[in-house]
Amino acid sequence: MRRRTIEIEIIQSAAGMQRMAEQIRLRGETIAFVPTMGYLHDGHLSLMHEARRLGDRVVLSIFVNPAQFGPNEDLSKYPRDLERDLALAEKAGVDVVFTPAEKDLYPDGFETFVTQTRLPDHLCGLSRPGHFRGVMTVVTKLFHIVKPHYAIFGQKDFQQLAVIRRMTRDLNFDIDIIGCPTVREAGGLAMSSRNKYLSEIQRQSALSLYRALEDASRRVSEGETDPQAVIGSASATIEAAADTAIDYIRVCDPGTLEDLSAIDRPVLMALAVRVGATRLIDNMMLTPPD
Ligand code: AMP
């Protein structure tokens, strides 16, 4: 049997990626783009499958973006495994993997950032100051380098998706932003590259996040309208699990991310919890009856 040759293209320089994107566009083909920080899992793969469905060419970027990590966060120990990622990307039908070096995206003297005035002042933006500035800056740069027609993001990072949608609209990027549902492990834990940090016992504790969201969803579907009651019960579920510390649990408007005083329409429940030293996030829409 003949061995399949690797057909995936790996590009490291921003200029090289721009040339490739230009060639694809000149051929009249569309580009679907999936930005990631690598250490790929089934959540990332679902975005690649959506990209494969949407575009003629699929570009995946793998870049652990220092600008979105705070000084005491896990930048230096963020999990990486490029060889494994390339094999998974190829299997998922990715055409081009863009893996820039840090110096290429942030050359000496870099001083230009993209900010937003309201959406980052909620949820993760409060506990991670500067995080969304880093995300918006790198996504803007990647958009200019990869020149996509479609860009695909996960709803697991709900606030990130909201911020990027708003930025794309506000700054007139000619790109369709696509949101994909959260992919979960068997017990409901949202897939994340950071799940690698969890011990077996912590993994069990981490299931409390999904249990709390599911329970909130059930309560609201049965008529509960008080956000504080729903938040209180979710807190109790998570606090009962070993080694957990709640960063935030919020019930908010999915458009503005502002807190709500009554659940009288579909709302977003979003939470961030430390399990041991690992910060996990998750969210779910809660829909009242009728
Ligand atoms: P990351 O590599 O963590 O920066 O994530 C890259 C992209 O994958 C982002 O758009 C995330 O929202 C998305 N993503 C991460 N985890 C999941 C998941 N469990 N399900 C769906 N999308 C995800």
Prediction pTM value: 0.97
Tokens of 143: 């958009």
Closest residue to atom 13 of ligand 1, CA basis: 154
Question: What atom in ligand 1 is closest to the CA of residue 153?
Answer: 10
- Centre of ligand 1 to C-alpha 43, Å, is 6
**pLDDT score for 3:** 52
- Centre of ligand 1 to C-alpha 38, Å, is 10
List per-residue pLDDT tens for the chain, 290 residues long.
455 555 899 999 999 999 999 999 999 999 999 999 999 999 999 999 999 999 999 999 999 999 999 999 999 999 999 999 999 999 999 999 999 999 999 999 999 999 999 999 999 999 999 999 999 999 999 999 999 999 999 999 999 999 999 999 999 999 999 999 999 999 999 999 999 999 999 999 999 999 999 999 999 999 999 999 999 999 999 999 999 999 999 999 999 999 999 999 999 999 999 999 999 999 999 999 98
**pLDDT score for 2:** 52
- Centre of ligand 1 to C-alpha 25, Å, is 26
Q: Which residues line ligand 1 (CB under 6 A)?
A: 36-37, 43-44, 46-47, 153-154, 156-157, 180, 182-183, 190-193
- Centre of ligand 1 to C-alpha 99, Å, is 17
**pLDDT score for 6:** 58
What count of other Cβ atoms lies within 10 Å of the Cβ of residue 41?
Answer: 16
Closest residue to atom 14 of ligand 1, CA basis: 154
Question: What atom in ligand 1 is closest to the CA of residue 193?
Answer: 3
Question: What atom in ligand 1 is closest to the CA of residue 38?
Answer: 2
- Centre of ligand 1 to C-alpha 157, Å, is 7
Closest residue to atom 12 of ligand 1, CA basis: 154
Query: Which residues are known catalytic residues?
Result: 44
Question: What atom in ligand 1 is closest to the CA of residue 39?
Answer: 2
Closest residue to atom 19 of ligand 1, CA basis: 191
Which residue among 34, 152, 157 has the greatest number of ligand 1 atoms within 8 angstroms of its CB, and so is best to mutate? 157
Closest residue to atom 6 of ligand 1, CA basis: 36
> Angle at CA 161, nearest 5°, toward 150 and 202?
125
184 phi/psi in degrees, rounded to 5: -120, 155
Question: SS3 letters for the chain?
Answer: CCCCCCCCEEECCHHHHHHHHHHHHHCCCCEEEEEECCCCCHHHHHHHHHHHHHCCEEEEEECCCHHHCCCCCCCCCCCCCHHHHHHHHHHCCCCEEECCCHHHHCCCCCCCCCCCCCHHHCHHHHHCCCHHHHHHHHHHHHHHHHCCCEEEEEHHHHHHHHHHHHHHHHCCCCCEEEEECCCECCCCCECCHHHHHCCHHHHHHHHHHHHHHHHHHHHHHCCCCCHHHHHHHHHHHHHCCCCEEEEEEEEECCCCCCECCCCCCCEEEEEEEEECCEEEEEEEEECCCC
